[in-house]
Structure 1
Amino acid sequence: MSGRRYAIYDVFTDKALAGNPLAIVFDCDGLDQAGMQAIAREFNFSETVFVEPARNPAHNAAIRIFTPHYEMPFAGHPTVGTAVALANDIGLSHDTATLLVLEEKIGDVRCAVTSDGAGPGFAEFDLPQLSEPLDAELDEAAIAAALGLGPHQIGFENHRPSLWSAGVPFVAVPVAGLDVAAAIRFDGPAWAEMAPKRDNGAVACAYLYCRDTIGHDNAFHARMFVPGPPVYEDPATGSAAAAFSGAIVAFDQPQDGVHTHWIEQGIEMGRASRIRLEIDVANGKTRSARIGGHAVRVAEGTLAV
């Protein structure tokens, strides 16, 4: 079938040509996995979403998320971008949230999309899986070397490197400040040699963070690197922020209640992004958590294949 509609959104930003770009291909009923993978490779974004009819008629859509090389069970910026895109098709209400349920590999993901009537949509979704710590022996000296840093530049306050997953595992590495974050020179092969592996054999990615920020209303500054192949930096990573929620609760030990954290990412790449992370804490543990951000449509068209 030819003529499948697609759109490109910049996600976790309220301005075009910033944030994390996402391709969304609609009307994918009948498109097989090999075809999806080939189209994702053609777009060559960090992720491409394929929208299929929902299995449950009460839900809005089933989505599949592909990198140029493999399928993902869950990812944050594809969820936010697709929720905004589908809500735009429905017609965003300026007074109430548009509620959607997206069927993903990880499970059903509930989303709420709002708009101020003039600017981009804002989507927030409940984490389908809360962040959990994973057992791993993390060598701080080896981590520092793979980042082009010295061991003394790893960690701040009581924060130390740790491995977390809310569906996708990440090594959360605290660094001493903005100057250290800017100085990172990521060595993909060195990271791949020492970092924990996922169930599918892929290496857990590196999520670097510090409490110093460039935006005064942000709580954390972050960078995320994929060890490859190919090696690349991601400008905004919702699944990493979801995993990071576990580290926040473990190290900061927040009081019971709702805690909102804005995370800036992508600044070193010239793709500034902002991710909103909300964590509900009860009895010192995460009861629920949400990821939110804006998304802006920058292009649309049809595929000729």
Structure 2
Amino acid sequence: MLHPFFTLDVFTGTPFAGNPLAVVLGASELTDRQMQTVAREFNLSETVFVSAPHNSKNRAKIRIFMPTGELPFAGHPTIGTAVLLASLDAVNAADHSIQIGLEERVGLVPVEVTCSDGEWTGTLSAAVMPKPAGEPLSTELLASAIGLETAAIGFAGHTAGLFDAGVPYLFVPVRDLDALNRAAVAEPAWSEMTAAAGTDGAYLYTAGDDGRDWRARLYAPAAGIPEDPATGSAAAAFPGQLNAAQALADGTHSWTIGQGIEMGRASDISLQADVTGGAFTAVRVGGKAVAVSRGMITI
């Protein structure tokens, strides 16, 4: 059967930058095996399959597959799919804003989609607040796993931590942009590190440049993602890591994250966290998305 598909670049307004995404429509009758096979065929960090929602008040039910398995939640697939559906629903390209509800395995994820001067932006509200997801690992193991000296791990109160906002990630602060640029997966220590952490993905970060608060890189080779140009689900958990480094005061905190720079697919992620009584009450992850291609796939 033929199914329409689209590809988009997410966390960018520029085609062929950001994080590419494939979205397959009309997926209600597809089996898990078929969806996994199609995800391997596209071989992007994630492929989304869209079907009718369980609750008619929501726009769609989506399932998100990496080349190696399904995810309960991911940021760039959520934002890219919301932007695509809003653009398909739009009567015209006039400036407007709309709320879209996407049913995901993690729960209902609301996304605000706006169109301004022809540019589409999506901002999701995380269904799960950041929470600790494990015990710290040794600096020696972290350094060995990413090919750096131990002195390059950590800075200004930032030490490695595990946090989860739907998907668990190991957060590894590195000293500066030079260390971030030099970091690379180094076996066998990498596999030892991720096994100890209980997660496929390690999110390396440091202070940013060019107006960005932070710069980051994400590696998840065991999940079929040698390096990810932009990782919204990690961004959603990142406030937990930042709060561990320095307690966040009550109020709204905003940051910008640059990712994918080293691999030639620059991505810009906006991140906000609301804190009340020392606890997270809302986390929002946003960015632009641009359509790149469309076609039909036989499944």
Other-structure match for 1:290: 284
Deviations 1:149-170 (A, max 9, x none): 0111000100100000111111
Q: Are the counterparts in 2 of residues 24 and 51 from structure 1 also a CA contact under 8 Å?
A: yes
Q: CA deviation at 1:255?
A: 2.3
Q: Are the counterparts in 2 of residues 131 and 166 from structure 1 also a CA contact under 8 Å?
A: yes
Q: Once the two structures are aligned, what percentage of the paired residues are identical?
A: 42
Q: Are the counterparts in 1 of residues 67 and 224 from structure 2 also a CA contact under 8 Å?
A: no
Worse-superposed segment, 169-178 or 131-140: 131-140
> Equivalent of 1:270, from 244, 264, 285?
264
Q: CA deviation at 1:227?
A: 3.5
CA distance in 1, matches of 2:195, 2:277: 30
CA distance in 1, matches of 2:85, 2:279: 33
Secondary structure of residue in 1 paired with 2:141: helix
Other-structure match for 2:220: 226
1:6 aligns with 2:5: yes
Secondary structure of residue in 1 paired with 2:269: strand
Q: CA deviation at 1:188?
A: 5.0
Q: CA deviation at 1:72?
A: 0.6
Deviations 1:258-277 (A, max 9, x none): 11101000000000001110
CA distance in 1, matches of 2:86, 2:146: 40
TM-score by structure 2 length? 0.95
Q: Are the counterparts in 2 of residues 215 and 264 from structure 1 also a CA contact under 8 Å?
A: no
Secondary structure of residue in 2 paired with 1:223: strand
Residue correspondence of structure 1 range 1-305 to structure 2 within 5 A: 2-91=1-90, 94-119=94-119, 121-187=120-186, 189-196=188-195, 203-211=199-207, 213-216=208-211, 218-228=212-222, 230=224, 232-305=226-299
Secondary structure of residue in 1 paired with 2:236: helix
Q: Are the counterparts in 2 of residues 242 and 291 from structure 1 also a CA contact under 8 Å?
A: yes
Aligned residues: 298
Worse-superposed segment, 242-251 or 13-22: 242-251
CA distance in 1, matches of 2:285, 2:187: 28
- Poorly superposed stretches of 4+, deviation over 3 Å: 92-96
TM-score by structure 1 length? 0.94
Amino acid at match of 1:262: T
CA distance in 1, matches of 2:16, 2:28: 30
Higher strand share: 2
CA distance in 2, matches of 1:63, 1:194: 32
Q: Are the counterparts in 2 of residues 188 and 231 from structure 1 also a CA contact under 8 Å?
A: no
Q: Are the counterparts in 2 of residues 191 and 227 from structure 1 also a CA contact under 8 Å?
A: no
Gaps in structure 1 of 5+ consecutive residues: none
Q: Are the counterparts in 1 of residues 67 and 223 from structure 2 also a CA contact under 8 Å?
A: no
CA distance in 1, matches of 2:285, 2:173: 20
Deviations 1:3-35 (A, max 9, x none): 200000000011000000000000112111111
CA distance in 2, matches of 1:195, 1:38: 26
Q: Are the counterparts in 1 of residues 96 and 116 from structure 2 also a CA contact under 8 Å?
A: no
Deviations 1:224-261 (A, max 9, x none): 00141646010100011111111112223232211110
CA distance in 2, matches of 1:54, 1:148: 45
Q: CA deviation at 1:95?
A: 4.6
